[in-house]
Amino acid sequence: MTHTNDHELDTWRDQWSSVAAPPAEFQRKIQQRIKRQERRFLLGNLLTVIVFLGMLIFAVLMRHQSPWMGPNWSTGICVLVFIAAGCRLWVMRRTWRPETQSTRAFVELWHRRVAARIRLLRISIYLSLGWIIFCAALTAANWATIGQDVKAHPAEWVALLVVCVLMQYPMIWFAAVWLRRRKQAELTEVRKILDEMDGKS
Q: Which residues bind another protein (CB under 8 A)?
A: 1-2, 8-9, 12-13, 15-23, 26-27, 29-30, 33-34, 37, 97-107, 110, 186, 189-190, 193, 196-197, 199, 201
How many other β-carbons are positioned within 10 Å of the β-carbon of residue 49? 10
In whole angstroms, the minimum distance from the beta carbon of 194 to another protein comes to: 9
In whole angstroms, the minimum distance from the beta carbon of 25 to another protein comes to: 10
Q: Which is nearer to another protein, 125 or 194 (CB)?
A: 194
Q: Which is nearer to another protein, 29 or 39 (CB)?
A: 29
Surface-to-core class of residue 74, CB atoms within 10 Å of its CB (0-12 exposed, 13-18 middle, 19+ buried): buried
Cα–Cα distance between 32 and 44 in angstroms, integer? Answer: 18
Q: Give the three-state DSSP class for 115.
A: helix
Phi, psi dihedrals of residue 65, rounded to the nearest 5°: -85, -35
In whole angstroms, the minimum distance from the beta carbon of 168 to another protein comes to: 29
Q: Which is nearer to another protein, 17 or 148 (CB)?
A: 17
Q: Which is nearer to another protein, 22 or 151 (CB)?
A: 22
Q: Which is nearer to another protein, 101 or 139 (CB)?
A: 101
Helices (H) and strands (E) in the chain, counts: 7, 0
In whole angstroms, the minimum distance from the beta carbon of 37 to another protein comes to: 6
> What are the distances in angstroms from CA 7 to CA 12, 15, 16, 137?
9, 12, 14, 77
In whole angstroms, the minimum distance from the beta carbon of 73 to another protein comes to: 40
